[in-house]
Amino acid sequence: MSIFSRNNLGEFEEIVMLTIGVLGENAYGLAIKEEIESRLNRAVSMGALHTGLYRLEQKGYLKSKLGKPTKVRGGKPKRFFVVTAGGQKMLKKAMESRQQLWSDIPEGVFKLFPSRS
């Protein structure tokens, strides 16, 4: 399988999925956006977020369900997201790949990082 496979996670997709894990049962669009912006000091448009969420859902890495309609939202329900077992496997694979890369960097190559000794 190519490293550019359609099933690989992009950085933003990985961030979205991890943020959904952080938020747990409260993982809906605006909460995900605000959590990413707060934690990473990174602006996120709702359009980009929705595109990412639906792409991840199409890949089978997320599932969503509608909550109850609320007056605050003009009777519209929130859509809540959870990471599927397949999504969790992809996150684990991404984490392990990154950890391996970090551990394979020879000591002293990155001067700003402390020695492993």
Check which CATH number belongs to the domain holding 44 and give it: 1.10.10.10
**Tens place of pLDDT for every residue, the chain, 117 residues?**
344 455 678 999 999 999 999 999 999 999 999 999 999 999 999 999 999 999 999 999 999 999 888 877 778 889 999 999 999 999 999 999 999 998 998 888 887 776 665
DSSP per-residue string spanning 8-71: SPPHHHHHHHHHHHHHGGG-BHHHHHHHHHHHH-----HHHHHHHHHHHHHHTSEEEEEEEE-T
Q: Would you say residue 58 lies in a domain?
A: yes
What amino acid is encoded at 58 in this protein?
Q
| Paired tokens of 12 | 């933003």
Q: Would you say residue 100 lies in a domain?
A: yes
Looking at the structure of the chain, the number of domains it has is 1
Q: What is the reported pTM? A: 0.84
